[in-house]
């Protein structure tokens, strides 16, 4: 099953819509609640990153019998130093984003902690692609 979600830059009101929809679907499929929690945490973090740091993007979720693969693609400034971005506490979030309670530098580390496979690539000035897999 494939699902596609558009993500608007700066739309914090709807941030988390994709992760909420996927959570409902996984519950209907009787996936273990601990696995669902890992998926939802990782998806939410990636979704908020698109909202906070890009010019908008897309989420494509592919649910199979033994795993979920989710691809997050955005257009935007890109990540100049992925290794640095993966460090706990590192953030490039604006002051406005921080004042809303986001941008603590935990997004990418939380994603990595909750998935079985993570692939992150970025081109400065073009955008970022993050692909995560969680096995059931």
User: pLDDT tens track of the chain, all 136 residues?
Assistant: 999 999 999 999 999 999 999 999 999 999 999 999 999 999 999 999 999 999 999 999 999 999 999 999 999 999 999 998 998 888 888 788 877 778 777 889 999 999 999 999 999 999 999 999 999 9
Nearest to 97 by CA among 8, 6, 5, 11: 11
47 touches 59 (CB < 8 A): yes
| Alpha helical stretches, state H, 1-136 | 17-28, 33-53, 82-85, 95-99, 107-114
Residue-range domain boundaries for the chain: 2-135
CATH architecture of the region 2-135: 2-Layer Sandwich (3.30)
pTM of the predicted protein model = 0.92
């Amino acid at each position: 099953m494939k699902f596609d979600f558009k993500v608007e830059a700066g739309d914090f009101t709807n941030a988390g819509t994709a992760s909420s929809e996927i959570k409902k679907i996984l519950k209907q499929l009787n996936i273990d609640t601990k696995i669902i929690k890992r998926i939802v945490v990782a998806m939410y973090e990636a979704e908020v990153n698109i909202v906070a740091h890009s010019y908008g993007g897309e989420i494509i979720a592919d649910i199979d019998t033994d795993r979920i693969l989710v691809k997050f693609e955005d257009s935007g400034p890109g990540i100049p130093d992925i290794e640095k971005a993966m460090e706990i506490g590192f953030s490039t979030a604006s002051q406005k984003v921080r004042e809303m309670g986001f941008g603590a530098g935990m997004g990418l580390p939380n994603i990595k902690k909750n998935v079985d496979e993570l692939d992150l690539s970025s081109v400065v000035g073009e955008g970022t692609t993050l692909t995560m897999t969680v096995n059931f």
